[in-house]
Amino acid sequence: MNDLKTFAKTDHNRYQARMKRVTIKDVAREAGVSYSAVSRAFTEGASIAPETRARIEAAAKALNYRPSLLARGLVQSRSNIVTLVCGSMADPFDALFMEALAGAMAQVGKRLMLVPASVYADDGSALLQALDDQADAAVVSAGTVSLETAELCVHAGLPVVLAGRVLDQDGIDSVVAENADGGRQAADLFLRTGCLRPAYLGQARETFSDRERGDGFCDAVRSGGQVAQRHRLDGADDAAIYQTALRILSAPDAPDAVFCATDRIAIGVIEAARALGLAIPSALSVIGFNNIPAAARRSFGLTTVDYPVDRVVTEIMMLLDRRLGEPAVRASTRRIPVGLVVRDTTRRVDA
């Protein structure tokens, strides 16, 4: 990607041969009205005679007129853009979340602007992009968001909703899974199916959800009178997942049941177990989190904690709706209930 270095430096305006845009004035002239009339013709419920509107619409169509969202955004100080600060798409869950969110936004006439957290300094500055864009709102599903940045957004009246973490800052809504409960459910199943050495396997870098899941799991295991190992990935990609799983499963005190922070990790564990000749679920039980489509594949049949992405998106939309209507409303964090879907990587519970 070295050729990109020259990209920004090239003066792309040298050949400023860009066509002049068809503006509201052109339409006005064509239709023989003032240009405020044209504006009104395109605003639903504005005070304009049906016949005039028809004439204007005809003129607009003839000229291929399209309103400039930039100009509109400028004067309304609202852009109909929602900024999504997102991370890697390597986990299918994240991709599906983004798709669902984009769809929901489109339904309410807003569009999603992508900001990859990875290309910004890890100081929460990615979120500031939303401010620059005059975004109507921001959704953060990855990356750091500092209290300072958050404060800035709140102060600027930018609604921010966090997905997958909560921040102790007034004015910042968030929606997260009932992570601890999910962990508890996983632990319960392990205990009830007679697992003796349960373990938790979390992300390489601890995240909010990751910690909650691990805590919920380990606490529940402890309540059951056992102790849980707690591990962490050596890296973020599939190979690292596999290697970590191999290491854990071939250790002297290898677990006989592992609860993973995500389905993607769980699948790596399944593959490592198979490579080691460990029978699933008799010798090793595995539970994931998210219930991504791959978990349901026959190749894996992964028992997992279902985290319904549509519910997440719906909650986000509701929080946004509420805060857009009433900006000063107290911040709230919505907890999405999760539920075990039992497949083939856990043993039957004895009746």
Partner DNA sequence: TATCCGTTAGCAAACGTTTGCAAGATTGAT
Partner DNA sequence: ATCAATCTTGCAAACGTTTGCTAACGGATA
Interaction residues for its own copies, span 170-209 (CB under 8 A): none
For 22-70, give the DSSP string: P-HHHHHHHHTS-HHHHHHHTSTT-S--HHHHHHHHHHHHHHT----HH
Shortest gap between Cβ of 33 and its own copies (angstroms)? 22
CA-wise closest residue to 174 among 338, 335, 339: 335
Site residue total, DNA (CB under 7 A) = 32
Binding test (CB under 7 A) with DNA, winner from 77, 107, 282, 299: 77
CA-wise closest residue to 291 among 270, 264, 257: 264
Start-to-end CA span in the chain (Å): 59
Rule CB under 7 A: is residue 247 a binding residue for DNA?
Answer: no
Q: Is the dihedral of CA 234, 236, 238, 239 positive or negative?
A: negative
How many Å apart are CA 237 and CA 107, to the nearest integer?
Answer: 34
283's contact among its own copies, DNA, none, with CB below 5 to 8 A by partner kind, is none
Shortest gap between Cβ of 60 and its own copies (angstroms)? 13
**Contact call for residues 172 and 327 (beta carbons, < 8 A):** no
Rule CB under 7 A: is residue 136 a binding residue for DNA?
Answer: no
CA-wise closest residue to 24 among 44, 40, 10: 40
Rule CB under 8 A: is residue 66 a binding residue for its own copies?
Answer: yes
Binding test (CB under 7 A) with DNA, winner from 58, 62, 71, 114: 71
Would residue 124 be called left, alpha or beta, if left means φ above 0 and alpha means ψ between -120 and 50 degrees? left
Whether cis (ω within 30° of 0) applies to the bond prior to 281 is: yes
Residues 22-41 that bind DNA (CB under 7 A): 23-25, 33-40
Going from the C-alpha of 169 to that of each of 145, 153, 154, 328, the distances in angstroms are 11, 11, 9, 13
Residues 124-153 that bind its own copies (CB under 8 A): 128-129, 131-134, 152
Shortest gap between Cβ of 307 and its own copies (angstroms)? 17
Identify residue 246 by its one-letter amino acid code: L
Rule CB under 7 A: is residue 9 a binding residue for DNA?
Answer: no
Rule CB under 7 A: is residue 230 a binding residue for DNA?
Answer: no
Residue 72 sits at the vertex; the CA angle it makes with 70 and 75, to the nearest 5 degrees, is 105
Binding test (CB under 8 A) with its own copies, winner from 310, 332, 337, 349: 310
7's contact among its own copies, DNA, none, with CB below 5 to 8 A by partner kind, is its own copies
Shortest gap between Cβ of 288 and its own copies (angstroms)? 14
Site string for DNA, 38-67 (x = CB under 7 A): xxx-xx---xxxxxx------------xxx
155's contact among its own copies, DNA, none, with CB below 5 to 8 A by partner kind, is its own copies
SS3 label, residue 277 = coil
10's contact among DNA, its own copies, none, with CB below 5 to 8 A by partner kind, is its own copies
Strands 333-336 and 339-341: unpaired
**Contact call for residues 343 and 296 (beta carbons, < 8 A):** yes
36's contact among its own copies, DNA, none, with CB below 5 to 8 A by partner kind, is DNA
Rule CB under 8 A: is residue 330 a binding residue for its own copies?
Answer: no
8's contact among DNA, its own copies, none, with CB below 5 to 8 A by partner kind, is its own copies
Rule CB under 8 A: is residue 168 a binding residue for its own copies?
Answer: no
How many Å apart are CA 155 and CA 173, to the nearest integer?
Answer: 14
Binding test (CB under 7 A) with DNA, winner from 61, 62, 68, 90: 68
Rule CB under 8 A: is residue 296 a binding residue for its own copies?
Answer: yes
User: The tokens 């003796």 sit on which residue?
Assistant: 196
Site string for its own copies, 255-274 (x = CB under 8 A): ------------x--xx--x
Q: Which residues contact DNA (rule: CB under 7 A)?
A: 20-21, 23-25, 33-40, 42-43, 47-52, 65-68, 70-72, 74-77
